[in-house]
Amino acid sequence: MKLTAPIYHLKRKAKALSRERSIPLNAALDHIARAEGCESWSLLAARHATTSPARALYEQLEQGDLLLIGARPGLGKTLMALELAIEAMKADRPAFFFTLEYTEAQIADRFKRLGTEPALYRDLFASDCSDGINADHIISTLDAAHPGTLVVVDYLQLLDQRRSTPPLNQQVSALRAFAETKGLIIVFVSQISRTYDPKTKQFPTLEDIRLPNPMDLTLFKRTCFLNESGVRFQASS
């Protein structure tokens, strides 16, 4: 089906509508879906899935990849990461979601926004919202993970929020080596610097990533940047 705007933009419109009319987000999503010719958001999402950017992106990922997803707030970077997890599970691959940002209830809500729920994927999906998430914790948790497992870390900068953890560059280096050894795909959701101006540059780039401390951004093998009009995906040079 052809939408009047990219689905990430429609989701943002729904959030604005929810605030403007003081209605639940689910009701706002359904309102937007009806304007697109669908009875509900879940139906729109199901129809959109056959041609979704997440599906196209997932098909290009390879075992051992580190993917960075970056966007300004509210443009759907976490939803994109969860859509990749869903694509992995549709291919009968496990998916893990490590987050210092969301609760289990909030994760379930984001699945609902995508027209599905974690329970549909049985034991293929696991989430970790514990306070001690860092590279060592992720590596320990995934020690027995099978090749092809997709791992989401939401988000990159939170790995560096405690002085007791190793520097961010050291953590990402360790996770890259682990992904290559185990054949995993690790997706990092990332914040964008406030200095980025979409009026002067359509999509953010690696130089727009907000970094609390210096790190080698070439550790990421692939990047995915979102704006209000679409998605830009590429392999890092």
Q: What is the pTM of this model?
A: 0.81
Secondary structure (H, E, C), 197-217: CCCCCCCCCHHHECCCCCCCH
- Cβ of 168: how many Cβ atoms within 10 Å? 22
The residue ranges of every structural domain in the chain are: 7-50, 55-235
| Cα 160–chain centre separation | 18
Encode the chain (237 residues) as per-residue pLDDT tens digits: 567 776 767 888 898 999 999 999 999 999 999 999 999 988 887 777 666 788 889 989 999 999 999 999 988 899 999 999 999 999 999 999 999 999 999 999 999 888 889 999 989 999 999 999 999 999 999 999 999 999 999 999 999 988 889 999 999 999 999 999 999 999 999 999 999 999 899 999 999 999 988 999 999 999 999 988 789 998 875
Burial class (CB in 10 A: 0-12, 13-18, 19+), 88: buried
CATH of domain 55-235: 3.40.50.300
- Cβ of 32: how many Cβ atoms within 10 Å? 25
Q: Whose structure tokens read 């639940």?
A: 24
Q: How far apart are CA 171 and CA 188, in angstroms?
A: 12
Burial class (CB in 10 A: 0-12, 13-18, 19+), 14: buried
